[in-house]
Amino acid sequence: MAQQPAGTGALYIVATPIGNLGDISQRAIDVLKAADLIAAEDTRHSSRLTQHFGITTRLVSYHDFSSSAREDAILTELSAGRSVALISDAGTPLISDPGYSLVARARLLKVPVIPIPGACALTAALSAAGLPTDRFVFEGFPPHKQGARKQLFESLAAEQRTVIFYESPHRIADSLQDMRDVFGGQRLAVICRELTKTWETIHGDSLEALSLWIQADDNNRRGEFVVLIHGAPAPDQIGLQTEADRQLHILLEELPVKQAAALVAKITGLKKNALYKRALELDGTR
Ligand code: SAM
């Protein structure tokens, strides 16, 4: 096994692809082959992956509804010095996926927990959306019921960091409408659909326009989604920033980014560099 001396058990948290099988790492394949056991969210689903890569390690099921006896059995294997690799259906385990309780208990038992990093829809979306990445909040899936969903969005409406959600095809249209109603139609957002797959789409616009876009074509609602919402401006900047955004929107229709930013800096007195960055964001998400 990669890092552990023989006879020492370890729990490996192994990321698997979120669509494109080429995204699995060599290290992930090696660890899955060498492990004594693979704990998988759905063994039937994961057996397609293991077959594809010639991995013959025994798969056992482990998910959020697994009995505590199943979790105990995995911990017993680990305590006996065997190595277990945890995988989920796609991407990084524990990120809106099962595994938290197992990892927490393994660490309490002083079993080494070793991440094998790789694909994750959250980081893939953030890296390509063109929204600020220096600070962000990940909220997982919004609640299914509209009341609870709107309440959550309201609690995030003044959040200045980029806000990121996962969403399913069944709820994406309703969620976007609620986002538009609560965050405001002018707020910039980006939809990342089917990342790494054939129909990969990365589409940025105002929430008003995105909400219309998602309803315009059934195909736009197919697949898996990450939604990223631009953070709110700082309270003392709200009036000025809104006005600057309005001017940038108009000028970017006609002018290159640099010129539009320079003109808005002259009109508003805001910093040229900050406006240039903002203009790039607005331009990049069109
Ligand atoms: N653990 C996974 C990860 O690392 O991203 C996420 C698992 S969560 C149960 C599944 C959700 O992740 C999907 O409903 C969707 O919101 C998002 N997702 C997964 N794969 C995706 C993809 N290829 N493109 C866009 N979103 C994806």
Nearest CA to ligand 1 atom 8: 96
CA atoms lying within 13 Å on the CB side of residue 153 = 25
Residue 98 sits in a domain whose CATH number is: 3.40.1010.10
Number of domains into which the chain is organized = 3
Is residue 135 in some structural domain? Answer: yes
3-state secondary structure 38-76: EEECCHHHHHHHHHHCCCCCCEEECCCCCCHHHHHHHHH
What's 220's DSSP letter?
A: G
Give yes or no for residue 18 CB within 6 A of ligand 1: yes
Report which secondary-structure segment, H or E, holds 203. strand 201-206
Q: Among residues 93, 119, 145, which one ends one of the domains?
A: 119
The C-alpha atoms of residue 31 and residue 36 are separated, in whole angstroms, by 10
Domain that holds residue 192: 129-229
Question: In 3D, which of 79, 77, 78, 95 has the Cα closest to residue 87?
Answer: 95
Is residue 5 in some structural domain? Answer: no
Would you say 136 and 163 are in contact if contact means Cβ atoms under 8 Å apart? yes
184 shares a domain with 146 = yes
String of b and e for 186-206 (b: at least 16 CB within 10 Å)? ebbbbbbbbbbeeeeebbbbb
82 alpha carbon to ligand 1 midpoint, in Å?
30
Would you say 38 and 58 are in contact if contact means Cβ atoms under 8 Å apart? yes
134 shares a domain with 113 = no
Give yes or no for residue 90 CB within 6 A of ligand 1: yes
Evaluate the CA torsion angle 92, 94, 98, 104 in order and state its sign: positive
- Cβ neighbours for 148, distance < 8 A, ≥ 6 positions apart: none
Q: Among residues 119, 153, 184, which one ends one of the domains?
A: 119
Q: Which tens digit of pLDDT belongs to each residue from 10-63?
A: 999 999 999 999 999 999 999 999 999 999 999 999 999 999 999 999 999 998
Evaluate the CA torsion angle 31, 34, 36, 42 in order and state its sign: positive
- So what's the pLDDT on residue 6? 47
Give yes or no for residue 121 CB within 6 A of ligand 1: yes
Would you say 188 and 230 are in contact if contact means Cβ atoms under 8 Å apart? yes
User: In the chain, which residues have pLDDT < 50?
Assistant: 1-2, 6
Q: How far, CA to CA in Å, does 249 sit from each of 174, 245, 261?
A: 27, 6, 10
